[in-house]
Structure 1
């Protein structure tokens, strides 16, 4: 949190929502001189709504606490949205910090990054920015567990963009267990969005795309095996969670903090 806030600098209206925190998030944020909202209620959607209540500016960025986004990247995103009134949302280019990742987790992250390289959009970056019209498109947000997937689906391809000059350092799940838990939550979140009728504008990823990346040596065979292994295990976990009624469970990944 301290690292994230120091990179943003003093020129922005920053609101930190400490939702069901058991660490020093609120104290660190107050020491940095930003607005702080505390709530005992877990869940990111609830936190986003609380932050909105005390934020008065647009464009507005929603940023995960473990993601590094510089002031220069923020300004580039603002420029992107203000220069083109057809754009309602944008995101930075993610840069993965795989320090400390297990072999399986790192292989999965490298593979999914290549698969999504040309279609990243607003999800998977830990940060997205919306205009006032874009904000009206996504809020009030329904009670869901995959907020960035929801935001991704709510905008057409021509209404959102990835800003090449903006970079976000993303620290993904470092262990196999943390990765599978997160991926199971994403899978269940996508199923939840499908049930709500919130459809996407991009076709789903296909196994043929992975084969092509392996053939072209953009993805190594060991990394592809790690990717497929995680998909198999996450599918089993997601099914178990659905059968046991914990599909709406929210959990944070402490391995990236």
Structure 2
């Protein structure tokens, strides 16, 4: 079974090689498309250095446009949307899509593991709470990888022009149609600095707000879950909860004021280094 993997890459020259190298491990039958969108670095050149990788270049930056361009040329199903800073092996991709063979399962994702070893203490505190939020038990977002069956991909025509592509996909499927695959772990590098986390969260919150305004089916925000489901049940997390609330408030303020890209670069520095 051939699996099509689509990677939307905006100025990802420091990490896309690592992503593509991992995909070649295990000898899986994978059709890989890298869509370099609005790049001013060597992302496309790095991707072309991996034989068998299809490279599409777009002048305009934008993840939705990149994913749609990748879908237009991808050859097979299942379809996997993979972030350029993720390093999943070809074997892991095959295990992930195997979950789509289960009756009624149309979408699959990996277990999320936040890597905070190099992060500042407030960042570690934020994720001590965030990692325990129950919404991640049945969600597709925040993992850096989502696999869809052909039937699952037929749920929509194209990605909408919003930042929150993973929340968009999550909104298309009922709980029983989604599967988290325990055997596949997505290691997500947390920002090193607090200001980088605030910038990343502001971008996410702005994108989520735009999607929820456009799509009533999108999962609603759960603004008190950090307290009700996490902190009150684990009082020893109170110092971490202070970090969580402060960073979340700062990100919300920034999201309301700013329209910038807001991508965290510090986690990419960590990967590159």
TM over 0.5: yes
Q: 1:182 to 1:71 in 2, by over 3 A?
A: same
Separation in 1, partners of 2:48, 2:116? 30
Separation in 1, partners of 2:168, 2:133? 20
Other structure's SS at 1:91 match: strand
CA shift at 1:118, angstroms?
5.1
Q: Which residue number in structure 1 is paired with residue 190 of structure 2?
A: 172
Match for residue 6 of structure 1 among 21, 43, 46: 21
Separation in 1, partners of 2:110, 2:132? 16
> Is the CA contact 2:133–2:229 (under 8 Å) kept in the aligned structure 1?
no
Other structure's SS at 2:85 match: coil
| Count of aligned pairs | 249
Where does 1:54-133 land on structure 2 (aligned, <5 Å)? 54-84=73-103, 86-116=104-134, 119-133=137-151
Separation in 2, partners of 1:164, 1:208? 24
> Is the CA contact 2:171–2:218 (under 8 Å) kept in the aligned structure 1?
yes
Q: Deviations over 1:177-209 (max 9, x none)?
A: 2211221122222221221133235x6435365
Other structure's SS at 1:158 match: helix
Where does 1:139-154 land on structure 2 (aligned, <5 Å)? 139-154=157-172
Q: Which residue number in structure 2 is paired with residue 229 of structure 1?
A: 246
> Is the CA contact 2:199–2:263 (under 8 Å) kept in the aligned structure 1?
no
CA shift at 1:116, angstroms?
3.9
Q: Cα RMSD (Å) of the superposition?
A: 2.1
Where does 1:6-25 land on structure 2 (aligned, <5 Å)? 6-9=21-24, 11-25=29-43
Q: Which residue number in structure 1 is paired with residue 13 of structure 2?
A: none
Other structure's SS at 1:144 match: coil
Separation in 2, partners of 1:157, 1:221? 31
Separation in 2, partners of 1:128, 1:53? 18
Other structure's SS at 1:32 match: coil
> Is the CA contact 1:7–1:70 (under 8 Å) kept in the aligned structure 2?
yes
Separation in 1, partners of 2:170, 2:176? 12
CA shift at 1:219, angstroms?
6.2
Q: Structure 1: 5+ residue runs without aligned partners?
A: none
Match for residue 254 of structure 1 among 242, 252, 265: 265
> Is the CA contact 2:82–2:146 (under 8 Å) kept in the aligned structure 1?
yes
> Is the CA contact 2:95–2:183 (under 8 Å) kept in the aligned structure 1?
yes
Q: 1:212 to 1:149 in 2, by over 3 A?
A: closer
Q: Deviations over 1:8-55 (max 9, x none)?
A: 115310111111122222122111111111112111101101111211
Deviates most, 150-159 or 117-126:
117-126
Separation in 2, partners of 1:40, 1:28? 17
Deviates most, 155-164 or 172-181:
172-181
